């Protein structure tokens, strides 16, 4: 016997939906699959399945930088090699 289902309507920013759809597709999931998975974890764990914290100053600064980069459609690095070189430099290697 099939389980009864209900329709769930959620409003999200168009850009967020598009970016989430792309990321989830790469993982082999649809947005609907991800929402069902999220809600199933809430039921199973009886808890919110993500850790929620108030971000510290460094994290807030990184979030603002990221938002500005996304708004301007710019990147910090011209290529992956520059990114990896910066990561190695930052890690002290």
Phi-psi label, residue 20: left if phi above 0, alpha if psi -120 to 50, beta otherwise: alpha
Q: Is the pTM of this model over 0.75?
A: no
Residue 12 reports pLDDT greater than 90: yes
Residue 31 reports pLDDT greater than 90: yes
pLDDT in tens, 37-87: 999 999 999 999 988 888 899 999 998 988 888 888 777 788 889 889 989
Angle between helices 31-45 and 14-26 (to 10 degrees): 80
Domains and CATH numbers, the chain: 10-51 (1.10.1220.10), 53-93 (no CATH)
Q: For residues 44, 50, 53 and 56, what is the CA-based torsion angle, rounded to 10 degrees?
A: 160
The predicted structure's pLDDT at residue 67: 87
The predicted structure's pLDDT at residue 70: 81
């Amino acid at each position: 016997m099939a389980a009864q289902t209900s329709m769930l309507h959620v409003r999200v920013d168009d850009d967020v939906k598009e970016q989430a759809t792309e990321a989830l597709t790469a993982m082999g999931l649809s947005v609907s699959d991800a929402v069902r998975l999220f809600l199933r974890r809430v039921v199973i764990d009886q808890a919110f399945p993500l850790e929620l914290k108030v971000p510290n100053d460094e994290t807030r600064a990184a979030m603002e930088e990221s938002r500005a980069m996304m708004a301007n459609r710019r990147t910090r690095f011209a290529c992956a090699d520059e990114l990896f070189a910066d990561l190695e430099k930052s890690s002290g290697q």
